[in-house]
Structure 1
């Protein structure tokens, strides 16, 4: 299928992109395109104009700054996969296929906030921070405040996600996933990360309208208990032709047990 007709322009710098977004509120940012273009081809999204930020080298790269890893938003999944980041390389290995990983970007995926995406669970489990920039300056948003709803993140119109800041003090981490066999999106994905103080953070994706912290699992693991069952109720979870809400709730329990065993 072909997308609806749209205008196209290419940003030459972050400042250039922010000016363009301020001048034209209808612009939709596109990076690797592996989230937006499929939706456009299916006419699920019909933006009248695209702003291409793929060539912005200032938004690429991974570097260590003290106790944090700083990841440029335009860093590809393949680059994340080959990195020394905590948890995210394992998660990147579950993303799509080699073509998607070589072109898709970590920032594009996180800002898109697809409820079945893998990275949001990793961000919540690791306590990642997001640097978001607009013409008036930049702000930092914690992972707990980043994912607002289905395809809705804290990145507001006229803003760009520029950096992902991941704690370098994670001592152990695990990602378990039950994926759709064709799309490879998470029917349920579950992430655990043990932090420097010994506490474990847990999060799941794919089961609801957004990725969520799994507080019941955190409490059990931090008390030295088994993961157990009944971690989430079916009420409020997604149900579709791929998996009912009840089955997704069951998968959370199954994946939590596997992840907790691996984290030991």
Structure 2
């Protein structure tokens, strides 16, 4: 299929891009286009104008700033996946990115574009929640910061205003161990369910646990029931099994053409088990 007619503008600065979005409520920001353009082809999105922010230099930084990993929204997913800095200070991000679509998609898709798309099965959204990411957005009223867990409000909907652009992702650098697993019919398919995990330890005892599930509801979300099971325990087989069961029992997944609720709960339990086993062997 072909998209409906639209205009195309390539602004020269972030400020100009914000003004263009503010001037037309039906305008959409275009970064890598790996999510938006297919939706336009299926007539699920009908923007009047595409504001191409994919080449704005303000959005391409990838750096360490004291205790924070700062990633510009326009950084390509493949660049983050292969970055030595990401591998060193935030390996969970690289683990999650390896499951995003295929190599060609990650070479065009951007970090900010995936988060702003807010797909309930998006690996990057789950990783952002598990890592307590702060999302910086810029609009006509200036910059503001929103927690990743508060960004995703419904399937393909975020808390961003129409004139706001997601410009930066800030990931706190912590001494944590990570794991990521998902269950999909084929590599590159949308996940039936998945889990991103970030755990901190004092000796062999879990002191802080952050787990986020994907593909199990209207949005990516944290799994507090599983987190509570893990806190204050050694990460042994009993703890991992109990946390995986808690994650599955707490989920209320949808019944759709991809899987029924029981299948998704079983997939979530398996994904949680695998992700936590990765942490245990990290």
- Shared fold (TM-score greater than 0.5)? yes
Confirm or deny: 8 A CA contact 1:77 1:102 kept in the other structure: yes
Please, which runs of 5 or more residues in structure 1 have no aligned partner? none
- Mapped to 2, the partners of 1:249 and 1:218 lie a distance apart of 17
Is contact 1:188-1:205 (8 Å) kept?
yes
Matched, 1:106 2:111: yes
User: After the TM superposition, which residues 175-186 of structure 1 pair with which residues of structure 2 at under 5 Å, given as runs?
Assistant: 175-181=180-186, 184-186=189-191
Which has more helix, going by share of residues? Answer: 2
Which shows bigger deviation, 239-248 or 30-39? 239-248
1:123 maps to 2:137: no
Alignment partners' CA distance in 1, 2:76 and 2:67: 22
Does residue 257 (structure 1) correspond to residue 262 (structure 2)? The answer is no
Q: Deviations over 1:140-197 (max 9, x none)?
A: 1112211111111122110011100011114211110112427522211100002477
TM-score of the superposed pair, with normalisation by structure 2 = 0.89
Give distance in 1, aligned partners of 2:187 and 2:181: 18
Partner-residue secondary structure (3-state), 1:199: strand
Equivalents in 1 of 2:258, 2:155: separation in Å? 18
Moved more, 182-191 or 82-91: 182-191
Query: Alpha carbons of 1:160 and 1:58: their partners in 2 closer, same or farther (altered >3 Å)?
Result: same
- Give the length in aligned residue pairs: 264
Equivalent residues in 2 for 1:27-106 (5 A)?
Answer: 27-83=27-83, 84-85=85-86, 86=90, 87-106=92-111
Report which stretch shifted further, 188-197 or 208-217: 188-197
Question: CA separation in 1, counterparts of 2:175 and 2:222?
Answer: 17
1:139 aligns with 2:155: no
Q: Which moved more, 1:252-261 or 1:105-114?
A: 252-261
Secondary structure in structure 2 of the residue aligned to 1:19: helix
Q: Which runs of 5+ in 2 are unaligned?
A: 234-238
Please state if 1:215 is matched with 2:227: no
Determine if contact 1:64/1:70 at 8 Å carries over to the other structure.
Answer: yes
